[in-house]
Structure 1
């Protein structure tokens, strides 16, 4: 029996979500994502790779310089702590929860399921509970099997392994988690990596708690972060945002400054719809992220069908990065880089009226004016200035 059951009929494309798929489409094998390849593929590993991973355990001597001192690495690694505890707890079984395998449930499914008479009302309730546990965004979509990984990864030898998931799952709850704006402004730095780590720790907590709530209602729920499937297509289909040149989802609330997680479930829920507003048209004329990338890993020009790179999904027409160039820069820095997020014109505080006005321009026929107004946007904040702000706040 094929898994999952109850998935909708497969379509060649999903025009409403801006997803264009060709006859060459193949589900992605997670073993080939660049971070997993760093453990088994000699063409990716280098003298810097081991130091990159060791720096997350403070085993490698921190680089000197603003943003790469011991306190910067210390904060970054502390931010990752909760996520690390979860991901490492079944490592001896080859299961890295949240990254190469779904998170194990610690709550049994209640034997008597709650009767759901109104899926739309249930969806509203789930979103309210997601907010209660700390998610900043929540959207719901169908479990489109195209975006599931073809297999999971056994981290003992990095071989392919079958998904060990319940049958009958038909819905994906997608959660967005905002990254701290001032930390993002310090990319590239180890300090900025604390913004990433904090949200991975947050999302681990949120997806586990929300999944436990659903299981207590008597329905299957599998909490998931980077594992099991590609979250970006699900986030777009769930109406949370639109795909951009910088490989990120642009949302009207936070721009690209988000991490995403998901829950696979069979709880009866109404699904949201994609909400294209014009990000694609803006990205067509904007190349700030590609220009700012130190190793030129981001594409110029229009979206193209990917798949020539082993770390790119085959048969999808989109903007696709050079994963090897990107990761090599990360490894040399011993920290993640998100310059492309920092310089993105959509990376703004939309609580400010002036930025909401800019967004309206960017998503309209006046997008060229919005681009000119964003020429100096995304200036880097010195990491030392971030620490100085925290010291001022303590007085």
Structure 2
């Protein structure tokens, strides 16, 4: 079967024929891949900054159709041969006995997304840049009828992560659950960010969408235009030309008695690996607000303790999400028409996709296996 294989770090993928996986056993599925999305983590892995396991077939956010099932796949998962599914990279074969697997917030018994012993498709095990892939039945989600594989693939990491980040930011993940909340998204014009804007608005939030490049801001304008009657709930901010102090007043109002902590956004999501993104965004948060970071820059972030101590701002970090969140996110996206802005490529053209990514092409870049 056809596959794109990373054989050495900091080199192009190698397009080649590889052995098709054997029939699945136990709780595994064999999925015929229809679309595979490229994520920032794919670029980090290809640089040699993560797992050192090579060769590797990348992509930890993909979608396809079940073509075979192991004998132990639980009927409670609602899966069947021929069913379309979305596949996130985490978690493949967790240990089933550690704290994460035992205390798993309602996911399948013994299945812990955050198990440190679990595999990760596209990183520690082969992922979606191939025609067929073995996946754990407990990590997938059925694709709703009105969504395609290309629609679904970018949601398997970017969509799930930003959905989890919104929950960490105290947004209730149901329609109207963000009523009354204002959420700032730093890096709103990126892959996660433009999905986060859509989710937050359609959950009922007001959104302050921050970015600092022409391409990202243009993508944001396209997203806001697509929101129709809800577009008034988004304020687009160019961090290059606007100050956080002015943005705070323009979007949240001037505080009475010049008490700055009384006005501001309820939550900030920090998506870029840039200190400026955190610094700008922290100045928008009102006292007792929350900052949720998704990014993890190699050199770390500089955090001002006075924000935590005197302003009582809470800080959290998130990584992807649980299986039940995956399913609810995907169903919400289908119902509320949340879609990534995508550019598609043939599998043979994966290296061109990677070049475009590093050149700053916006939205989500996806291999469409039907092309």
Q: TM-score range by the shorter chain?
A: under 0.3
Greater strand fraction, Structure 1 or Structure 2:
2
Greater helix fraction, Structure 1 or Structure 2:
1
TM-score, normalized by length of structure 2?
A: 0.27
Higher relative contact order (CA 8 A, sep 6+): 1
TM-score, normalized by length of structure 1?
A: 0.26
